[in-house]
Chains A and B, each alone.
Chain A
Amino acid sequence: MSEHVDTEQLSAYLDGEVAPTARARLEAHLAGCPECAGRKEALARAAQAVATLPAVSPSPAEVRAIRQAVLERWPGGAVAGVGRVPWTQRVGWRLYAAGAGAAAVIVAGIFGYALTRPTSGSHRPTSGSAALSAPVASPSPPALSSKEEVLAFASAQPDLAQAAQSVTAADAAAATRQFLSQIQGQATQAPPEAFAASSPPPKAAAAAPQNQAGVPAQPAPSPGTLPACVQAVLAAQPQPLVPLKAVDISYRGTPAWLLAFASAPAGSPGGPLTTVQVWVQSQASCVTLEHTSLTP
């Protein structure tokens, strides 16, 4: 019998780091030497034990601390945007849901508004049907960290698919105006025409139920920023998109908005807006962090 294999070789063998000729000799020896085979097994179990340790990831707060350290200690000191209010200190997280269509009403489950169509030529703030029961006191926004999680989160929103079903391309402009006026609070900012100019004109009004509940729209969390971000996404897309919903989330530690839009399926640009496209945009400057879509 050949000499026993040394530990270093056995260990390297487990990692496939032994040259082919040496490997053949080693394997021949192992086949006939229970002692070396046993040592090899013990080393393999040790390696396997380490491999089963959980990967430890930084928490969102730790990621923020790393980011802050980088930006603050970078030559030149604080980089603009470091001092922004962390989401934990903002007023909870809010859900904004809007939609429009022939029926103009979206039954939005526990989240969301039922919207009325705007009267023609005016930009009347829409009133909601008291349906918004956003968990304002929620301790933290949903923390997502992958495309799969974004998809799962969006799929779990009860109103999204339903909202998409009730929207048509012809409604894009009106629905967009309504959505933006919702998230702008009482819509005292940019006139809707400024960003809806390229959208198709609103379809003739159907019998849209007027909601008289008189519940005011929720104010936007960072006035001017979320609407600007929604507009930026709309402006960057050639096809008609109708904003459906904006959710304050944390994406891999970065404060972000999950924005859902209704769009036509990829293969039929003129078709009904049955696909929900989801963008995750950084709140700091509306950079796209993730993009995915839900097809019913």
Chain B
Amino acid sequence: MWIADLEALSDEELVRRFVSDGVKEAVDVLLRRHTDRVFGLAYRILGNRADALDASQEVFLGVFRKAASFRHQSAFSTWLYRLTVNACTDLGRRRSRLPQASDTIEVPVPDAIGRTDDRLAVDAALRSLPIDQRTAIVMRDLYGASYEDIAAATATAVGTVKSRIARGRSALAAVLGGQGEPPTSRGRLIRKKP
């Protein structure tokens, strides 16, 4: 296949091109569209790159393996979220039975005025949340997903999503808000709004 503008095809059509016709460039295009989000979400849920990579591989393999079961009632992106959350939950469950895998600490890139401590503290606080709260909060606050999408991706009711987000935010606010002692000695952890 030469110069076929695969980029113009829908996600579903790309999946079909690979599954039915073996066009491997369709995989490349699909990966370009979605790996950032899948990997990024998995990273925030699982907390390290190695697990995020494992989960991402499962997700994309799942996209092609389960293509036949994709129902067009939901958007492809919602389905992808669901596969990602499932892969992370499975992996998280397996990991929880093992000694904690090397928890790679990302070295945060300082922003324009050198603020990195805040992010480290937020990152640590987020990791301390239960996985279901963390998943809901990351999807909502980092990826802008609606409650409905989060509910679909996590196979729960919207009310449950609402509750998980609220409990997660409360816990984060308690850790980060300096109620009593701040969690580290590096000073104020939440900057005021400009």
Contact = CB atoms under 8 A, between A and B. Distances in A.
A287 B125 CA distance: 44
A286 B53 contact: no
Nearest to B39: A58
A55 B36 contact: yes
A55 B35 CA distance: 12
Contacts of A45: 173, 176-177, 190, 193
A29 interface: no
B137 to A, nearest CB: 6
A288 B193 CA distance: 44
B22 A43 contact: no
B141 A47 contact: yes
Interface stretch (B55-63, B71-79, B92-100): B55-63
B16 interface: no
Interface string B173-189: 10011000000000000
Contacts of B5: 288
Contact of B123 (A15, A47, A53): A53
A208 interface: no
A75 B123 CA distance: 38
A253 interface: yes
Interface in A143-170: none
Nearest to B125: A49
A56 interface: yes
A66 B31 contact: yes
B56 A50 contact: no
A71 B27 contact: yes
B28 interface: yes
Nearest to B115: A52
B24 A46 contact: no
Given A43-B173, A288-B7, A11 B24 contact: no
Given A50-B138, A53-B126, A73-B61, A8 B162 contact: yes
B192 to A, nearest CB: 9
Interface string A269-285: 00000000000011011
A91 interface: no
A285 B31 contact: no
Interface string A253-296: 11000000000000000000000000001101111111000000
Given A56-B40, A56-B106, A58-B39, A49 B176 contact: yes
A253 B34 CA distance: 13
Given A43-B170, A56-B106, A284-B25, A17 B56 contact: no
Nearest to A251: B32
Given A48-B193, A66-B60, A254 B53 contact: no
B147 A15 contact: yes
What 7 A-B pairs come out closest when comparing CB atoms?
Answer: A11-B166, A46-B172, A69-B57, A50-B141, A58-B39, A42-B173, A46-B173
